[in-house]
Amino acid sequence: MIIKNKNILYNENILMITYALMSFSIGIWTNYRSLWLESRNISLDNISLILSISFICSAIVSIIISLVSSKIKIKNLIIEIILIRVISLLILRYTNNLYTLIVCVLLSIICELIYMLSSYPLLSFIDDSDEGYRKKITIEYLSNDIGIIMCGILFGFSIGNYIINYDSFLIISLISSLLSIIFFVYYNDKNILRRKDNNTLQISIKNIFSLKSNRIYLFSCFFVRVSYGLVFDFIMIILTNKLNFSLSLASIFIITSNMIGNLACIFFNKLSDKLSVKKSILLKFGIRAVFYLLAFSFNTSLSFVLCICISYITSKILDNKVTGVFIRENSNKDKFLFENIRYFIECLGEGVGAYLAGLFLNISLRILFLYASIITIIQTIILIYNTRFIKKY
């Protein structure tokens, strides 16, 4: 058992509080953002375009930050982007100007994604163990779920003459972000060392792209996120508008699906040593593709609901085999840049997925799942093919 000194324990507690507050805030705003935009009479096409542009801009900003990361004080960066997000959400609450609204939504999404990219390195400086990472993930998942279920249940609830609505969710998200800044200011980074064990940029780029498995895997990441964006970026609109769920029922459905996914994750983690990478890929993505095709074929509400539930469950399982095996191909000195390149490609893919989702939803939910199945099949084939080139396979 590792005994941590008071300074490390203090910093870790501050980070965990910050993670909890920001995950709570992001969970609320991310899940109900599209419905809030819709309540402001923004068309589905424009919502998908806003999300798409935001993800693509986030990709560009994140790669710039990663290239100059050694010159940036991460604590200051995180405080600044959370503050920009708070200001953006505050303006959103009171603006009626379409262009101001679009800019503020774009800024809030960019800040969320940059925060997620920048926040983990701080924990890795003080606790780079699996236990520390699991603690972070557990707190983030729990806080995210609490935000979703709380707002879903409170929607329409009256407090005096005030009725809780989508604007209320925005304010709750704003306050939670503001509180995270107040706590995070007390994080002490004076003794934090810079990453001195990483290769130079040129050497890392050469090492990463010299591996065929890396090139194919990064290519597959684009399709993985396109298929994700097609279904998950408009999940609340799909459930409430297309499948006629109430907001509370939709929120409960998401939380329940996530809980089942977490249980499935525990089960498959125990089996993972007995599963090859190919079988893991087929289980994670192959099953999802099959259910997408079934949803397209049956074209019923039940088939769509079951398909979405399976999507949540499979998104949780076997990441250690399907994703971890490719990441571990890289040396520790190259992993930081590799992860940033992967993040860049995934943001581009999700941006494309969000845009396509808006187009397909205007046609039919059935068409959306047809194209989601096609893209999922493509990514599955690419990943299985790539197992031929994994040295540690």
Q: Closest by alpha carbon to 272, among 315, 316, 318? A: 318
Q: What share of the chain is helix, strand, coil (3-state, %, to 5)?
A: 80, 0, 15
Segment 53-82 shows an average pLDDT of: 80
Inform me whether the pLDDT recorded for 360 exceeds 60. Answer: yes
Q: Closest by alpha carbon to 383, among 308, 255, 281? A: 281
Segment 213-221 shows an average pLDDT of: 93
Residues paired with 163 in a beta bridge: 158
Q: Closest by alpha carbon to 239, among 169, 305, 316? A: 305
Q: What local confidence, expressed as pLDDT, does residue 191 receive?
A: 53
Segment 101-129 shows an average pLDDT of: 79
Q: What local confidence, expressed as pLDDT, does residue 253 receive?
A: 94
Q: What local confidence, expressed as pLDDT, does residue 199 receive?
A: 63
Most confident of 154-168, 204-218, 318-332: 204-218
Instruction: Return all residues near 349 (Cβ < 8 A) that are at least 6 apart.
Output: 221, 222, 223, 224, 225, 226, 228, 229
Segment 86-110 shows an average pLDDT of: 91
52-61, 125-134, 201-210, 332-341 — which is least confidently predicted? Answer: 125-134
Q: What local confidence, expressed as pLDDT, does residue 133 receive?
A: 65
Q: Closest by alpha carbon to 25, among 167, 171, 198, 156? A: 171
State the amino acid at position 371 in one-letter form.
Y
Instruction: Return all residues near 258 (Cβ < 8 A) that are at least 6 apart.
Output: 141, 145, 312, 316
52-56, 130-134, 204-208, 274-278 — which is least confidently predicted? Answer: 130-134
Hey, what are 308's tokens?
Answer: 């979405």
Segment 198-219 shows an average pLDDT of: 85
Query: Can you give the C-alpha Rg of the chain in angstroms?
Result: 21
Q: What local confidence, expressed as pLDDT, does residue 1 receive?
A: 45
Segment 298-307 shows an average pLDDT of: 95
Hey, what are 176's tokens?
Answer: 């939670």
Inform me whether the pLDDT recorded for 193 exceeds 50. Answer: no
135-149 per-position pLDDT tens digit: 777 788 888 888 888
